[in-house]
Structure 1
Amino acid sequence: MSGREGGKKKPLKAPKKESKDLDEDDLAHKQKLKEQQKALQEAKAKASQKGPLATGGIKKSGKK
């Protein structure tokens, strides 16, 4: 016996998943998620243009 034959055999390709029919509720939900994702991306882009919010760090008084 050669060393290559031992062990569990792997399938060549994964079986195709069945495409399930989407009803109107599923389509509306997917559309809503896309809109939320788009709004989040726009908010990130807008926030990155303004710059950092807290740049001062810890402020120290002159007293000891």
Structure 2
Amino acid sequence: MSSKQGGKAKPLKQPKADKKEYDEHDMANIQKKKDEEKALKELRAKASQKGSFGGSGLKKSGKK
């Protein structure tokens, strides 16, 4: 009654997904989404170069 089953069982391999065929409408939506993501990345890069948003200088504590 000895077996070599110990630890986690290996997950079953998933079959590879078939490539989907897209029509013109789907391709337009995919391209639009990619363009929006690219624009967001550019905006994030610009914002990170400028530094902090506040620009108020030194922060004051509430104590006097």
Which TM-score applies when normalising by structure 1?
0.66
> Counterparts of 1:36-51 in structure 2 under 5 Å?
36-51=36-51
Unaligned runs of 5+ in 1: none
**Two-structure CA RMSD over aligned residues (Å):** 2.8
Deviations 1:27-55 (A, max 9, x none): 11110111001100110111111110115
Identity level (%)? 46
TM-score, scaled to structure 2: 0.66
- AA aligned to 1:3 is S
Runs of 4+ in 1 over 4 A off after TM superposition: none
Question: Which blocks of at least 5 consecutive residues in structure 2 are unaligned?
Answer: none
Larger radius of gyration: 1
Size of the aligned set, in residue pairs, is 59
Write the letter of the residue equivalent to 1:40. Answer: L
- Are residue 53 (structure 1) and residue 53 (structure 2) matched? yes
